[in-house]
Structure 1
């Protein structure tokens, strides 16, 4: 078995890496413009990655700072012994945990806990809202209360996924909301909805049209706890598809955190396939 050695000339690796990423997204049903947009996101910071080879196969790694902690990332892995080498390399750089983005299954990382998934599906061409459910725009007066609830739920989701402490999760939440909603309720491309049934607001939705080519991203499709178990979860997904087409997009995408098995089961049953899966391991 050959030892892994860090290489300076990464041209041969990079061409293969980009084609592997594109092939994974194409296999998941992405259009070519969407696959290439996702590749651009997956390759962010690529010039700073460290690449090693055993002579025939590859491993690419990096370390970033997240909420004051060093986080190792395995960006590419084709070498059989590459995982152990990557974990040692990340630990040697001071990383407290290592994360990996996967397409097409867990593979060599089945023992890494799931931190989150990106899921997607083409929206129905003429989605219809379920009988008895109406949707309206959230008002600007309702926005502050909605925001407080969304922030609390987001922090709880991050902590449940197991990767961050409550304090780190709050810091990440502050950063993410400021990034995605710099103008709050008036942020261009973002729409907020209230779902009503029997004269009551039973949940809310937050979507971003044009998030990627042809894609509406569902940041939140939330059914209030007291209204769960009544079939509104599937209704909320239909609202997401309705909003996707209303915004001029064809594909709906969203993220689910690890540990939320109920939501994952719902998404499996409604045909939202896993596009990317993010897993992690404490070092």
Structure 2
């Protein structure tokens, strides 16, 4: 039996050059599932994404998902993508095994916390001040990384973002960038884009204080969930987030096509 992809509807092309298209997964022209293929813009060029890959229960265990994923990779090669990213629910063991078998490597863990409105957390370390960046501080910080320039407008508040700076006795020791992000299931939630403490100042509770500030801001705005992404190789950060009550929601994988 032959497993193929059959387009569902026309190719969607956005003004920024990104593309997307839905496909049926077919076995001898019989639909048994579906997949969505798309591209996203990054500072390094177009990156392909494969999402919503599903196979009907009666057809699982026969390699249909593997063939469909490989066919999706061929589509993305034709769209001039050199890399692919996929996101898999943390508890979906078969999908995670498939990603590993196809040569994908873990690139990030998406974590989520349900916030307790009655939990203010411990006080910040003595001498630490966390406040919004001034315009004079924000401009050079935004320009220091391509990702910030792409995602943040000149006025972060215009896009619903907030950038805070942490100072110890008036000296910068870290920063916090929060905003919004769509979860894989489509829900839009408050999100920590960056939280960073100066290398020489780590281990003093500043990272925890910045995360508590992010959570407090969400509570103040009436929210009850906060998400973030962590590098799987960053053991100290993973330990911090686990101690704060963040739990894995999905695992991101990446693969080079060439």
Q: Would you say same fold, with TM above 0.5?
A: yes
Alignment pair present for 1:217 and 2:212: no
Match of 1:267, SS state, is helix
Task: Report the RMSD for the aligned CA atoms in angstroms.
Answer: 3.4
Match of 1:87 among 62, 70, 79: 70
**1:4 — aligned with what?**
3
Q: Out of 214-223 and 237-246, give the one that drifted further.
A: 214-223
**Richer in helix (by share):** 1
Match of 1:99, SS state, is strand
Match of 1:77 among 47, 51, 54: 54
Aligned length: 224
**2:129 — aligned with what?**
134
Alignment pair present for 1:101 and 2:87: yes
Match of 2:69, SS state, is helix
CA shift at 1:148, angstroms? 3.8
The CA distance in 2 between the partners of 1:199 and 1:93, in whole Å, is 49
Q: Out of 53-62 and 251-260, give the one that drifted further.
A: 53-62
Map 1:228-247; keep pairs closer than 5 Å. Answer: 228-247=202-221
Per-residue CA deviations over 1:111-142 (Å, capped at 9, x if unaligned) read 52122232210223142443424322222221
The CA distance in 2 between the partners of 1:184 and 1:274, in whole Å, is 32
Kindly indicate whether the alpha-carbon contact (under 8 Å) linking 2:190 and 2:226 is maintained by their aligned counterparts in 1: yes
TM-score (norm 2): 0.70
Q: Out of 108-117 and 136-145, give the one that drifted further.
A: 108-117
CA shift at 1:205, angstroms? 1.4
Per-residue CA deviations over 1:26-69 (Å, capped at 9, x if unaligned) read xxxxxxxxxxxxxxxxxxx87x2222134584252525365545
The CA distance in 1 between the partners of 2:109 and 2:221, in whole Å, is 23
CA shift at 1:243, angstroms? 1.9
Kindly indicate whether the alpha-carbon contact (under 8 Å) linking 2:83 and 2:254 is maintained by their aligned counterparts in 1: yes
